[in-house]
Structure 1
């Protein structure tokens, strides 16, 4: 008993000492009644006051706790009942209290208290910090702030039961709206295949239509993708689930088994097409171009600059000062895209970087004298480096623009993909001029695009896009014309309707009726192709229906970010069957909410050095070890100035990209693309006949 009392007295003295130290650091309102400071409202809660670690292994302390148990239970219950009302009013040691939020509503201190409370929750729960970029974050804050004071928090069981159920119902209503449009616009079944960290191959099946993309289900395809038969059965089942009459195309990866299985699929369903994922094809082109020796050397030199700057607080602050808050490294969906997006960013900031390395600030910085700083100065002042960067940007910019376009949810890419591939090849030819110089790049594009695989939907999209079709002076190539005929035969099963479409095509070709209106001519570029047909194709109802179904399709099977969604858990067989269904519904809600968020036009904050972006930008912001390493002391992130203008537009906001796409086109280029026949052998064998001419 004596030992127990001595231990309790020692703990009490320790707490009082800690409270006195806190009072000295942060005087309370009681000690300074006439001079209450903002600091008093922002005191941290000592961990000892939240969790009691004292004497957990001592029998004497357990006995003491048992004696005081009733009183503690009463206090604990009282705190539990009052917790919703007192949540913002956190108690610290020494009776130091944080004022209630309502007493500082609208003030700077009140905002800080709110932000600190949210931050504590995010930190303790391990929620990804980029969750504040969610379009649902601000509505959550608004809903909480509009509620009456004393809002009670929901429980663990609430979030797993009725809240999840209502969210599921809410998602279902949105998806029912998408489904109601499938009969009019058609839809694309997307097979987004990916490999988990544990080596499993999963396929997320999604359904795309212009109104939005919905997540259907996730399948463990580890043992399916290796067999043509099982892969065909899986795709067949998904098409039947969506409805054969609604599906215009199925988009998968371009592996041999997928090609064979999809060929059988189109034989089983003669009213749909199979297409390879254009996003993966174009990203593969950028990746292969980045591996070419001349291109790779420039990329590595650029990484030397960014790696040095982003690993030193002084140089990073200096760079942002001279670039007015702009970052060198910008966001991209893939590593290959980041390489060329960042090269373009650096080329645009060339003069600012030159001004930085020639300034007194740079000369006075101790890091500039190190080997890494000297290397950065030499590269930034190199004329050859910058001219090479500019040439690479001109070569790859059309492919980057097309990559964003095919991944867009706002603008279906089917009416642009054919022209986009041609434009990319033409840009390379214009930059490099000599056939021996540009053919390696063309070979990469042709190999990734795989000319042996017919793409009638892409060709028909070019034909039915009024901006391109009426820019053609003369006849289109056999490839484009045959692609349109293939689409008529496959997508329209009735012979009489096919004949009517052929007659209506003559009106479209001759620019007759409403197609000749001045409004229709102005709208060829401004309206989406499908909307243009809705507006001006009334005299050709059967052709309009076909055109809308073709031009309303995407070209990419890429889904959205899968981070922190438990896909692998729903394929774990060692789970209670009831909980397994709950996990499946939770995943369904999470992924569909993320897909809907992708539809929102929201500017997203981006910091290159953030761990949230390491998957794509790590080799640009991690300094190379070796003789060029700059820092010799431990860097401190708190010395870095907060980024100012480092926000990027959402990937799916493609208005600027499509305007840039159109600005690079003229009638001569459209005419050449329409008459171009993809025959690589004739191009390579006949040097006297330049391609595209």
Structure 2
């Protein structure tokens, strides 16, 4: 071993001795330091001459204290030296423990994870220890510049050490628990984490660090609310340029809440987005058309009368009268009732027909039969491909027919259940109500009628989704949609007038007497997708008459030029004659098509863009009603009126902004969110069903305004509920609507109780 060490020169000995005397650790008095020929250091115990090549003075101190582990104990050390080394080690442990306790008091949620990315502190300490002898030997020698070619370990993206991973997991758990405790204590719905602003909030807090304390009650209630309103106002103001360019639709709708107040929401629609204006408690004025007109006129003046192309509201008699007054004062503004509301009334009217209502009643008995018996439901869940049976909503009548479609999808599962040995041998087969449900499940006439209703309603479902969609303007599709709905019903009944007339009469009455307006006819005529479909295009006088009415209302200058340009569009002349214009008519949105291909008819182009950029539905109001009602509860009655309006204004516009940007979570007009609210389908008065986990959570926390992620899972039904082009071969449409024959109960051991 001695041959591996080089004797030190006088200068080196002087330097080493000075370095040794400069050490403050008491162990240096009992250790000598030598250096290898290659420059590496070695520590030698003065008592047993043991040489150690690593670990530093701390390891030699363990050697002198007789601590087993990293190094063997010294057998020649004097007792007093050993005692001093033991005390020194204990002091080191105590000081480290005290430092850790002090740090935990300052940082109750653990260390910042970024501190452990690559253990940067240890790396710096090692660099200093390596540089100190070099500095002593070379004086002014600079640090090598090779480091600049390598990323330091504490940079973002560096591979973390095991210690950082373990510390990071604990820190994340502590942070998650802190968030969870806040949610549970304040009774915040857990689906609030799906808010668009939840993660940005956490990112902003973590960027500041552990010193951030958050806003207080007054700041949230006053100062920050004012700042948020200013931000939202900038967003709304950014839409004004769009309103002036392509026009806008004012959407207003009313409803009656649980406290019997009539509330009206006002929103402004344009292709770039929807903005909320205000909510009004109109309980004192709703019955008077003049007062309603004044309320609507205030909103029109706020938006700018020249920017408003269309106004859509509820179709109650008082709203209709107020709409006439609006059209009288503002000649260029067209009023129409909400298309989605009219379609839902059609669903309601058809649902009231005796044979349809009886079919729905029988279907509800089957649903009650399944969901009120845990053992039967458990048997069905084990079936491959089983999904929940959808139940209708309380306010959207279309959901009743979706429930029939969902029940029909489970036909074979239900029939397999009631014919299985498990069910026949069970006590359920002897129950009277179960026998009624079994007779329905085994009745082929019942399933035949369900399939007919599915095909009957599928055209209406498609149209409802078109007119009630925020992703694109819907005005250009209403007229054609109603025509195709009636045509689809006629095809279903093989053009047998006796069979289809009861349904088409309902649609015709709602369409002709309530919904159809000149703006719908004009939008139909200006839509290139329908204009150039020569086989199906409708040339009825009322269509071209609607176009002339709209030109007379909205074209202030250049009426004759606009009418002359209609020939260019109709006959595919000028820019309309391009092959690209014809082939893209079904690909582009109608308003966008006119922007690209309508330059040969500038006057008609401007009018077409105005008309085809509008919506036909006010459903943007309906989807926000529950939020306004909750804000008016007693828990918030300390807010004065202006602050309450600011809160609603900020809330609605933030929600509308996020919904428009997040195309994957577009509102579904079929309203799956309230599908489970109708007890008629799931709860028997004599035998109530147990609540599931989701229902219990909704009772614990009032239904949150943030959409639940699981609702997205129902999107898999969206295409199916339309019914598609379900084959009608083999359907008994001739007897649909006639009383069902008596059905015998299937089991001979049944006794009527």
Q: What's the TM-score, normalizing by structure 2? A: 0.65
CA displacement at 1:356 relative to structure 2: 4.5
**Counterpart for residue 276 of structure 1:** 337
Pair 1:279–1:504, CA change in 2 (3 A): same
1:390 maps onto 2:412 in alignment:
no
Corresponding residue number in structure 2 for 1:78? none
CA distance in 2, matches of 1:346, 1:658: 11
SS in 2 for 1:214: strand
- For residue 562 of structure 1, report the CA deviation from its aligned partner: 3.2
Alignment of 1:8-407 (within 5 A): 85-86=107-108, 117-137=178-198, 139-140=200-201, 148=209, 152-322=213-383, 324=385, 326-329=387-390, 334-359=395-420, 370-407=431-468
The offset of 1:585, in angstroms, is 0.7
User: Match for 2:642 among 578, 581, 585?
Assistant: 581
The question of whether the paired residues in 2 share the 8 Å contact of 1:322 and 1:353 is answered with no
Match of 2:663 among 597, 601, 607: 601
Question: Where does residue 53 of structure 1 map in the other structure?
Answer: none
Q: Secondary structure at the match of 1:284?
A: helix
Flag the 1:330–1:82 CA change in 2: closer, same or farther, 3 A: farther
Cα 1:519–1:176 shift into 2, 3 Å: same
Query: CA offset at residue 385 of structure 1?
Result: 1.6
Aligned counterparts of 2:609 and 2:501: Cα–Cα separation in 1: 36
CA distance in 1: counterparts of 2:418 and 2:245, whole angstroms: 59
Sort the Cα spacing of 1:137 and 1:421 in 2 relative to 1 into closer, same or farther, 3 A. farther
Residue in structure 2 matched with residue 466 of structure 1 by the alignment: 528
Q: Distance in 2 between matches of 1:487 and 1:528?
A: 21
1:445 aligns with 2:467: no
In 2 relative to 1, CA 266–303 (structure 1 residues): closer, same or farther, beyond 3 Å?
same
CA offsets, 1:48-77, max 9 Å, x none?
xxxxxxxxxxxxxxxxxxxxxxxxxxxxxx
The offset of 1:234, in angstroms, is: 1.7
Task: Give the whole-Å Cα distance in 1 for the aligned partners of 2:253 and 2:514.
Answer: 23
- Choose 344-353 or 405-414, whichever is displaced more: 344-353
CA-based RMSD of the aligned residues comes to 4.1
- 2:712 counterpart residue number: 647
Deviation, 1:417, is 0.6
Report whether the alignment pairs 1:521 with 2:543: no
1:168/1:620 CA distance change after superposition, 3 Å: same
SS at match of 2:305: coil
Aligned to 2:546: 483
Say which SS state the counterpart of residue 618 (structure 2) adopts: coil
Q: Distance in 1 between matches of 2:241 and 2:247?
A: 10
The answer for the alignment partner of 2:684 in structure 1 is 624
The 1:530–1:83 alpha-carbon spacing in structure 2 relative to 1, beyond 3 Å, is: farther
Aligned to 1:553: 614
The question of whether the paired residues in 1 share the 8 Å contact of 2:528 and 2:585 is answered with yes
Q: 1:339 to 1:112 in 2, by over 3 A?
A: farther
Cα drift, residue 522 of structure 1: 2.6
Give runs of aligned pairs for residues 525-544 of structure 1, distance below 5 A.
525-544=586-605
- In 1, the alpha carbon distance for the partners of 2:583 and 2:551 equals 28
What is the aligned residue count?
556
2:527 and 2:590 in contact (8 A); partners too: yes
Over 3 Å counting, the alpha-carbon distance change for 1:514 and 1:104 in structure 2 is farther
SS at match of 1:215: strand
1:650/1:659 CA distance change after superposition, 3 Å: closer
411-420 or 306-315, larger mean C-alpha shift: 306-315
Separation in structure 2 between the aligned mates of residue 339 and residue 266 of structure 1, nearest angstrom: 36
CA distance in 1, matches of 2:445, 2:227: 61
Give the CA deviation at 1:112. Answer: 7.2
Rate the CA distance shift 1:313–1:144 in 2: closer, same or farther, 3 A.
farther
SS at match of 1:240: helix
- Alpha-carbon shift at residue 208 of structure 1 (Å): 0.9
Q: Matched residue of 1:426: which SS?
A: helix
Distance in structure 2 (CA, Å) of the matches to 1:649 and 1:423: 27
What runs of 5+ residues in structure 1 fail to find an aligned partner?
A: 1-80, 90-101, 665-693
Instruction: Note closer, same or farther for the CA distance 1:290–1:360 as it changes in structure 2 (3 Å cut).
Output: same
What's the CA shift for 1:521?
A: 2.4
Q: Residue deviations 1:656-685, cap 9 Å, x none? A: 699999x89xxxxxxxxxxxxxxxxxxxxx
1:514, distance to aligned residue in structure 2 (A): 3.1
TM-aligned CA deviation for residue 245 of structure 1 = 0.5
Rounded Cα–Cα distance in structure 1 between residues aligned with 2:722 and 2:691: 43
Once the 2 structures are TM-superposed, how far is the Cα of residue 229 of structure 1 from its aligned partner? 1.9
Residue 438 of structure 1: CA displacement?
Answer: 2.2
Deviation, structure 1 residue 289: 1.0
Q: 1:113 to 1:332 in 2, by over 3 A?
A: farther
SS in 2 for 1:538: coil
Structure 2 gap segments, 5+ residues each: 1-102, 112-163, 697-707, 727-753
Partner in structure 1 of residue 742 of structure 2:
none
Q: 505-514 or 341-350, which moves further after superposition?
A: 341-350
Does the 8 Å contact 1:415/1:458 carry over to 2? yes
Shift of 1:557: 1.6
Rate the CA distance shift 1:543–1:311 in 2: closer, same or farther, 3 A: same
Q: What are the superposed Cα offsets for residues 334-357 of structure 1, whole Å, 9 maximum, x if unpaired?
A: 431211112122223433444454
CA drift of 1:414 comes to: 0.4
8 A contact 1:367–1:630 mirrored in 2: no
Cα distance in structure 1, aligned partners of 2:261 and 2:528: 45
Specify the alignment match of 1:419 in structure 2: 480
Cα separation, 2, equivalents of 1:302 and 1:410: 34
Q: Compare 262-271 and 445-454 and name the one that shifted more.
A: 445-454
Show CA shifts across 1:154-200 (max 9, x none): 32233223432332222222212222101121111111111121111
The whole-number CA distance in structure 2 between the counterparts of 1:132 and 1:417 is 38
Q: Tell me the secondary structure at the aligned position of residue 280 of structure 2.
A: strand
The Cα of 1:278 is off from its aligned counterpart by 1.2
Cα distance, 1:622–1:143 mapped onto 2, change above 3 Å: farther
| Cα distance in 1 for residues equivalent to 2:684 and 2:509 | 33
Q: Secondary structure at the match of 1:121?
A: helix
